[in-house]
Structure 1
């Protein structure tokens, strides 16, 4: 998954402003206790980060974006 696709999906699932907040403020256990932004900056694959988002927010991410 491209990084632009990742951000597009996150924006679509949460809205642009809230998506950025989640990316920088919410620590996810699935990412080893890192935020989305930290995981991406560390070189984690976008698909791995996206799967962590889907697991952490199953009610917010629509099935068509999974």
Structure 2
């Protein structure tokens, strides 16, 4: 998964690009080592791994994971 696809999925899941970016900046996720989405991506985590953690936190249906 590329970063562009990751952000498209984030926008789809959260409803707006601005909210998705804000959420990614503020939401700390245990599965990402207690980091935010932005911190995990900046540290080199794959967008796919970060998306899996986000999908779990948001309790998205399997069709969106």
What TM-score do the two structures reach when normalised by structure 2?
0.90
For the aligned residue pairs, the C-alpha RMSD in angstroms reads 1.1
Instruction: Note the C-alpha offset of 1:42.
Output: 0.3
Aligned to 2:56: 55
Q: Paired residue for 1:38?
A: 39
Runs of 5+ in structure 1 lacking a partner? none
Q: Secondary structure at the match of 1:17?
A: helix
* Runs of 5+ unmatched residues, structure 2: none
1: CA distance between counterparts of 2:41 and 2:55? 16
- What is the count of residue pairs matched by the alignment? 64
2:40 aligned with 1:65, yes or no?
Answer: no
Secondary structure in 2 matching 1:6? helix
CA contact (8 A) 1:31 1:49 kept: yes
